[in-house]
Chain A
Amino acid sequence: MRVLWIIARRELWSYLTSPVAYVVAAIFLAIVGFLFYGVAKLASERSMQLLQFQGILATFNVVQLVFRPIFQDMALVLVFVLPLLTMRLFAEERRQRTYDLLFSAPISVMAIVGGKFLAAVFIYTALLVLTMVLPAMLGQWTTFPLSTLMSAYFGLWLLGLVFIGVGLFASALTEYQIVAAFTGIGILILLWVTGLVAHDTEITTLSTVLKKMSVSIYFEEFVQGLINTTSIVFFLTFMLFWLTAAYRVVEANRWR
């Protein structure tokens, strides 16, 4: 456990001393802020229209009109942002030839993968916490069920863990950070569109299988305020799958 923390601390240090994390965070927060503004503005305009034409002030359903689209958008932004955050984790070790330092130290490859994962999760969690400013601002003018918001955040956090797992796997594959980023984004887009295909396909069996594999469908449940064990287990299992894949690739690197 201590070794995990030593590796994570070194990675955190590297994140905080390099511009990549700051640039990624700034881009993510700017996009999310812009999207939040757009969605909130649209929702308030719709409410005003209902008031004008029907003469009643419709109940401003924040969850449906704001949170649902914004969390879907945030998830989509993460498809592009998290691989940028994880791209250097293994690729740089390989490029700088520092793998041998880690491999020759009395620590397991599992601890190396775990430590790097932990560091990325810390940064990602900090990013999510920063976005909480937006619903807090909305809370000044309207009320909404806090539990639904927390459920959506929890879902997004779990989704991010899977994305980081994919990013780590992609980073372990190559010594070029840019290749790692594109590979990660490619895999995540595939995972994301699985859900969309599941909705569109007319073949029932295929649709069922795709739905069972779709991160977007499980994530949707969290956004609607449903936290069920199946979804949590799905995300954690999927995360472990990608971490194991990353571990296997790093192990395989030792043989070359």
Chain B
Amino acid sequence: MIEVQNLIKRYGQVTAVAGVSFSVTRGEIVGLLGPNGAGKTTIMRILTGCMPPTSGTAAVGGCDLMDRATEAKRQIGYLPEFVPLYPDMTVPEYLNFLGELRGLRGKALRAARERVLEQCGLIEMRRRLVKNLSKGYQQRVGLAQALIHNPAVLILDEPTGGLDPRQAHEMRQLIAGLGGQHTLLLSTHLLHEATALCQRVVIMYKGCIAAVDEQERLAVRLRKSEKIQVRFRCPPPDIEWHLKAIPGVIGVYSASGWGSGRSSAGDERWIIECELGKDLSEEIARRTVRSDWGLCELTPLEMSLEEVFLNLTAEQTGAQS
């Protein structure tokens, strides 16, 4: 549904996107992930026809954005990072205007407007001027305009940016509900958002694609060791030494130092790093029970998207330097 081939975008001497290629199939939810300045917004603006690429091709629904821009744009709904609103309009006026621009009229326009008002939870806001809405509702209005012509492809640029946690959660629920009906490409630098919403992620770094895959497969691919988190009620002072003595253990770290737990007296968590492919859970359990350290928790740790992301970006930085 979305096909990007060797896309390059330069702003003068600065290369914002450096030869990016990826594709999104019908009905898929794909996350474009990366830190600020990675080139996510540039790619999205090219894909929505707002900006031409320096070179390369981008096509939506089989229509090239350069050659058949109008046909391609008919299939796209776009919510930019900064929600573009006309503050002097009421919500229905704003939606009418954008519906008309996308070729809707008469009864079809009214029906589409009512549908998106309901879909985005804006029924109660219909008499309000757009400028008087809260940030959360303004974001919903932005999403409603992207949906009004029922596009096959939805491109959402940081859809939860600037929202408070509750509003962000509601917005995520709204977006999750759109999966299946539309092909979704959304950008975010919030990793938990990508984890919650996306089937596949495209990780970008400095204008290049660092990786494209499902999150779990990326985690497996990038994993260099196994990690187990343990917690003891009464560990000995030299616990670190005891754990390191287990064959196959590479390192032992305090979970508080690792950043995934809070240590306090009598409730200390440790991360045990083991050689790849070795499951030491049983051995650790046996030794701690035998020594009576009061084993309270033993959890094999999956690699989080954050770690995947950090690993990838570190690899990229290393490769570049």
Contacts and interface: CB of A to CB of B under 8 A. Distances in A.
Interface of A: 3, 6-7, 10, 13-14, 17-18, 96-108, 254-256
A256 B93 CA distance: 30
Given A105-B98, A106-B74, A106-B103, A256 B11 contact: yes
A6 B88 contact: no
B85 A98 contact: yes
Given A18-B88, A105-B98, A106-B71, 15 more contacts: A3-B101, A6-B101, A13-B89, A13-B93, A14-B86, A96-B85, A97-B80, A98-B85, A100-B48, A101-B101, A104-B78, A105-B101, A106-B102, A107-B101, A254-B52
Nearest to B47: A104
Name the 10 nearest CB pairs between A and B, nearest first.
A106-B73, A103-B50, A98-B84, A104-B48, A105-B101, A104-B78, A106-B70, A101-B84, A97-B82, A100-B80
A102 B78 CA distance: 11
Nearest to B86: A98
A104 B86 contact: no
B233 interface: no
B51 A101 contact: no
Contacts of A101: 80, 84, 98, 101, 145
5 contacts: A100-B78, A101-B80, A104-B50, A106-B101, A107-B70
B100 A6 contact: yes
Contacts of B80: 97, 100-101
Interface centre among A3, A10, A106 (most CB of B within 10 A): A106
B87 interface: yes
Nearest to A18: B88
Nearest to B100: A6
Contacts of B49: 103-104
Contacts of A97: 80, 82, 84
B209 interface: no
Contacts of B102: 105-106
A255 B45 CA distance: 10
